[in-house]
A and B are shown apart, each in its own frame.
Chain A
Amino acid sequence: MGRIVSPEAFLNPGDDVAVKKKLADAALNAAKSKGASYADVRIGRYLNQFVITREDKVQNIVNTESYGVGVRVIANGCWGFAAVVDVKSEAQMAKAAEDAVAIAKANAKLMKEPVQLAPQKGFGEVSWKAPIKKNAFEVPVKEKADLLLSVNAAAMANGANYVNSILFLVNEQKYFASTDGSYIDQDVHRIWPIFNITSIDPKSGKFETRNALSAPMGMGYDYLQVNPKDKVTGVTTRYNMGYDMLEDATAGAKQAKEKLTAKSVEAGKYDLILDPSHLWLTIHESVGHPLELDRVLGYEANFAGTSFATLDKWQSKNFQYGSKQVNLIADKLQVGSLGAVGWDDEGVNTKKWDLVKDGVLVNYQAIRDQAHIIGEKESHGCCYADSWSSVQFQRMPNVSLAAGKTPLSVDDMIKDVKKGIYIIGDGSFSIDQQRYNFQFGGQLFYEIKDGKIAGMLKDVAYQSNTQEFWNSCVQVCDDKDYRLGGSFFDGKGQPSQSSAVSHGSSTARFNGVNVINTARKI
């Protein structure tokens, strides 16, 4: 997490690019002189701010800064890595590079095949900045705390018993240099406002919650600027590139209360209409993860697991991952998304590529030392480390469901459903280690009867199998309904690393999905 600092420290721009280049060159030269065939250096300054409140109290304001360097090398065909905190001198950089080479040489003895790195041209001295309109770190902490307290007050005024709200802010200032001749300076921003509202029925002792329908975004404070064009109205209001937290908390408090008396779902098969605020998580678990090439190959077998989407299925060129309506795209360029950067953490320029085209599995997510395994000549540019002190490895790019090509609104989609459930917001989630069997909950559930919304349901979760589920997709709304969801906390690796990733979609319909009732008595 790093050391705790004052908010003013965030306004310090950090070291000049020329200073970083000098430090980086010291490590690159030392690595080469010790026998490394390749080396890269990441100088990272990571700023975080969390404003944490409940009801009428500011519980905590945490400001952290972490600064250090990670040096990665290939020597004797094996990776080696060393990291140093608070680097100030070229001598420290050279020492880190020497340590990394020594580790690579020691581990080389246990290797059976040398690392094969896809060639990558150098880009010289370049830079990339997230296209934010308002730097959230420049907004006074008081303004942020006041916003959260007003959100809490709105929830309490509308019937909430308790409300917790948090604003997460992240700024990654990353400098990358490699022996390929790249010196890349990048400035990444992320924001995530959330709340959790609890409503209690004192008589029965039952309680229900409703979480925010916000999304974590690769944006500045501009995400919290309310703009009517970012609102999607309907059974409840949802949000696109701008979030009205006050309005959502007002609705959320009423809905948490309404859940207490909602009808408990009857288990069975239903046609599901899934809002983007919900579907992002199903995409993440059942498409994003199984198509990570390191999982497919077995590198994550001891923790996150392997994948059902094996190489033979991809090689057959006819593995029907989903129905013809299903087009799933990996994208590291999408504006406002969490995954957007100019270059990844091994100096590869980012791009967009197909994973599933017209329902057929066509590709995976691969980085430089994996590209040759799927017969490609270059990396996909999705290598990431969550800190200067972590080793970079293959991480999920934004993976999204393409909007339908035929004009279709949510209202028109619902009109044709005889027995269905409309699900909004993400809830409980669980999937097996090869990504076949999953179960998802949600925030809001509405029963659909004969083409009309018939009222709120509770105790809903659906279970399916990935291939069966995506093949039951019969319709996707057009791009007017397209929105992003995502998470700051996608975990993978040992020791575990967190990565932030977005998933976009329009509302989609899945026929005949198994719904269970989750109510129990203890």
Chain B
Amino acid sequence: MSIILTEAEAKALLQKVLKYSKADECEANILGEERGNLRYARNQVSTSGSLVNQNLSVQSAYGKKVGVATIDEFSDESIERCVRRSEELAQLAPENPEHVGVLDPQTYQKSSGFFESTAAVNADFRADAVMKSLELSRAQNLTAAGFLENQKGYTAMMNSKGLFAYYPSTSVNFTLTVRTPDGKGSGYVARGYSDVKKLDTAAATKIAIQKSLGSVEAKALEPGKYTVILEPTAAIVLLENIYFNFDARSADEGRSFLSKPGGKTKLNEKIVDERVNIYSDPSNPDLPGSPYSGDGQPVNKMSWIEKGVVKNMVYSRYWAQKNNVKPVPFPSNVIMEGGTATMEEMIKSTKQGILVTKLWYIREVDPQTLLLTGLTRDGTFYIENGVIKHPIKNFRFNESPVIMLNNLETLGKPERVVSTESDRNYLIPPMKIREFTFSSLSDAV
């Protein structure tokens, strides 16, 4: 049997698992995936690898006593042993007061994240795609280091109440850094898709080459507050920290940027500019996501920030039950609405500002304000009177994405980006922000 099971095969396998169960409740999750990668540096291949992975996880419960066991090969004998093992562990476990029982069958919306084109990617395809990139950098005597990784897989789950869910998906991520031989210029590009047909490594490479050549002989600018235009690759590594901290329990407990004095939260309060709209929608064709969460909840279209107001927070089933509200699962994708401005228009309307193409080494400095630090990297440019004047040396910044979205000037058109910090894909626009805080200079190129 293939590692990637069809919906019917996954269902049959899970039914077999559930038949062995003798516990009060049982829930089984399976996944299968194949990954391949090609890594290169100094204009030649450095490493390549492939990974085939499958896993079955069985959770058995007796009341609030829960045990989990997993296996990575699916013979009948192994499956039965796995179920028995999870039952033994459940009997031995202390009661978990936060355990909630398995869900009734659910209805899931349709999401199409599996593309045959991507599923067919093999070592030859990767070598060709990388060769198209390498030829361009070699021809201009530039030094390339890049990474191409493709993945195909599925997840499925079933429980003793009859719930069944299945979701197949594919993805390809390509990242590239091009440097000038004297080490004075560096440019970067990242591309992520579900459908590999959209990946053009040569076109992407040209962007990295342009940034690398354009960033040579950078001049130093005084640190301070500047208007910035953040390309989506730069903006996302700041904004994703907002989504990661949308947990209702932390907010209720008073230890989140969404907490307020007296045990209250900022739910239904305006926290950023009214043009900010952030939501998730697994059925978005440009950014498909899983229609169900790991515990079987349907993941539907959900607004997180609407017109600058916090509309929803993530509620685990336990925390929702305790607070008598509806559970809200963590989203499987995040989308930020944009405006109509092009990058050219945003630059043209800037009297004095900085174009930031990438940010690096983002770390939280203060969880209360979501203050983050990090640096610009691989192409930072000074804008004066509507035109890019020259490259500038990199800066360290200390800024909160919440403050940043209050200082919003303009939003561009959303595009799919890969976070260089978390590797997750998002749909977000480029944005112009005033009074962005740069605190010191860096000599790094």
Contact = CB atoms under 8 A, between A and B. Distances in A.
A389 B43 CA distance: 26
Interface string B48-83: 110100010100000000001111110000000000
B123 A439 contact: no
A4 B45 contact: no
Contacts, number: 198
A3 B55 CA distance: 8
B396 A437 contact: yes
A168 interface: no
A192 interface: no
A111 B45 contact: yes
B361 interface: yes
B363 interface: yes
A522 to B, nearest CB: 5
A301 B49 contact: no
A439 B443 contact: no
9 contacts: A57-B98, A107-B48, A110-B131, A161-B253, A205-B259, A206-B368, A209-B367, A306-B179, A428-B373
Contact of B254 (A110, A145, A205, A518): A205
Contacts of B72: 3, 85-86
Contacts of A59: 96, 98
Interface in B349-406: 360-371, 373-375, 377, 394, 396, 398, 400, 402-403
Contacts of B13: none
Given A4-B70, A494-B39, A522 B361 contact: no
A520 B261 contact: no
A81 B47 contact: yes
B375 A437 contact: yes
A428 B371 CA distance: 11
Given A202-B263, A391-B47, A432 B254 contact: no
B37 A437 contact: no
Contact of A308 (B253, B255, B444): B444
B175 interface: yes
B369 A522 contact: yes
Contact of A302 (B134, B146, B445): B146
A308 B46 CA distance: 22
Nearest to A438: B396
B41 to A, nearest CB: 4
B143 interface: yes
A308 B147 contact: no
B329 to A, nearest CB: 19
A150 to B, nearest CB: 15
A161 B123 CA distance: 53
A157 interface: no
B268 interface: no
A292 B21 CA distance: 52
Nearest to A298: B42
Interface residues of A, number: 71
A202 B254 CA distance: 8
Nearest to B266: A522
A389 B259 CA distance: 43
A430 B253 contact: no
B37 A428 contact: no
B177 interface: yes
Contacts of A522: 257, 271, 369-370, 400, 402-403
A207 B123 contact: no
B44 A518 contact: no
B402 A433 contact: no
A521 interface: yes
A205 B255 contact: no
A302 B444 contact: no
Contacts of B97: 57
A50 interface: no
A289 B132 CA distance: 32
Given A298-B42, A433-B361, A463-B439, A4 B145 contact: no
Given A432-B360, A494-B37, A437 B403 contact: no
Contact of A430 (B57, B363, B366): B363
Contact of B94 (A58, A161, A439, A465): A58
List the 7 closest pairs (A to B, CB-CB), nearest first. Answer: A205-B261, A437-B442, A434-B444, A432-B444, A301-B145, A302-B145, A302-B177
Interface in B243-279: 253-255, 257, 259-263, 271
